[in-house]
Amino acid sequence: MRAGRCVVTWVHLASPGHHPLSCYSISASKPRAVIRVKNGIITLQEGSQFRTISDQNPWEFVDRFLSEHRLPTNLNTPFTDGLIGYIGYEAGRYLETLPCLARDDLGLPDIWLMQPGQVEVRCASLESASQLGHTAVMACLAWSPNMSKGNYLEAVAKIKEHIVDGDIYQANFAQRFSSPFEGDAHALWQHLMQKNPAPFFAYIHDPEFQILCTSPERLLKQTGAAVESRPIKGTRPRGKSAIEDEAMIAELSGSEKEAAELAMIVDLVRNDLHRVCVTGSVQVSHHRMIEVYQNVFHQVSVITGKLPQQETMFKALAALFPGGSITGCPKIRAMEVIDTLEPVSRGVYTGSIGYASFHGTQDWNIAIRTAVVKNGKIHLSVGGGIVADSNPHHEYEETLHKAATFFSNI
């Protein structure tokens, strides 16, 4: 495995109305170190040297790595040096005792983080993203789901039984679509950015796999002691006219189901942040605001807080991981239910892609709308929140709609 072939591109594209300096892209390459974690075994690659660690918790190992490389605080630029990459959904098992029933058919690392030797930070915007050039990509893909409609409906019915029994209040359930793929993964990612830009795009190239992320959702941003999380619950497509846009906004704003889902997730995020933030500092600065993007409207809340001076960066991330909007409530029990019903491991899907710098900044998305290319196939998972009044057939159709939105942009 050649470390020099590892590349990460992380792009934060703010929506219209945001300050232009909040938009930037990070290109990281020429790794000095790569941390890979699989089944609790940590592999630290530095150049051509490999070291295996099996007696440390992966989260504590990464936290210590960040602390040992600490630089003077610099909040003027998002990232100059540090770790960049992804933390897969199953890395939550290193934080809590959780079942391991789903089949790990892709075999991706649970954690993949690179310390780059070369970093480029540039300004970016939704407008510039829409002007990206791209080479030809493979368009006509033959997608197939990993479960039948009957199996999906049966799983949703079981989730609703858990809700009726008072076991959980909400759970996010996902299915995966796969297709043969022989195209250029990076060109496809650029094409997706041009067709449907979103705030937290990311591309990861490893010799064994590629990750194409088109996420609109932030799990955690840290700038010094200030932290922010932005859960999303509720999405509507843009209309073909201003009148249709207004109708979509009114429909989203008036949805009691999505208002209830978002309220539950906001409470969950607040509780998670309370575990690590200064007492009294956690606030919901915005609730149920509608954000406008090129193709969709999102209903978003913003929760902020302040970390104590002694709190380490990865402990703050661990308090939130994985995000409540893609697990459920209560989080741990919802994750247990998910693992008994989803047939395959989620991998990077609903984990987080982002960075933690050595100089006091970090930013992590929630890896939804994220595809994985490996061994001549491309895989896309889509899910949705299941609550007491969810209609299983409607939920199934919603996953097909989400998948079709991704497919239509290829």
Catalytic (active-site) positions: 217, 233
Check if the beta carbon of residue 160 is closer than 8 Å to that of residue 166.
Answer: no
Token pair 């859960």 is found at 231
CA–CA–CA angle 191, 112, 49 (5° rounding): 120
**Phi, psi dihedral angles at 310 (to 5 degrees):** -85, -5
Closest CA to 385 of 249, 272, 213, 257: 257
DSSP-based helix, strand, coil % in the chain, nearest 5: 30, 35, 35
Q: How far apart are CA 320 and CA 330, in angstroms?
A: 13
Q: How far apart are CA 357 and CA 380, in angstroms?
A: 29
β partners of residue 344 = 103
Tokens standing for 273? 């942040």
Tokens standing for 57? 């918790």
Tokens standing for 315? 């402990």
Give 230-286 as a 3 state SS string: ECEEEEEECCCCHHHHHHHHHHHHCCHHHHHHHHHHHHHHHHHHHCCCCCCCCEEEE
Check if the beta carbon of residue 165 is closer than 8 Å to that of residue 361.
Answer: no
Check if the beta carbon of residue 367 is closer than 8 Å to that of residue 213.
Answer: yes
Closest CA to 381 of 211, 200, 164: 211
Pairing of strands 328-329, 170-180: antiparallel
3-state SS assignment for residue 120: strand
Burial 151-174 (b: 16+ CB within 10 A, else e): ebeebbebbbebbeeeebbbbbbb
Q: How far apart are CA 123 and CA 77, in angstroms?
A: 11
Pairing of strands 352-357, 361-365: antiparallel
Q: How many CA atoms lie within 13 A of 110 on its CB side?
A: 20
Tokens standing for 280? 């009294």
Q: How far apart are CA 193 and CA 205, in angstroms?
A: 17
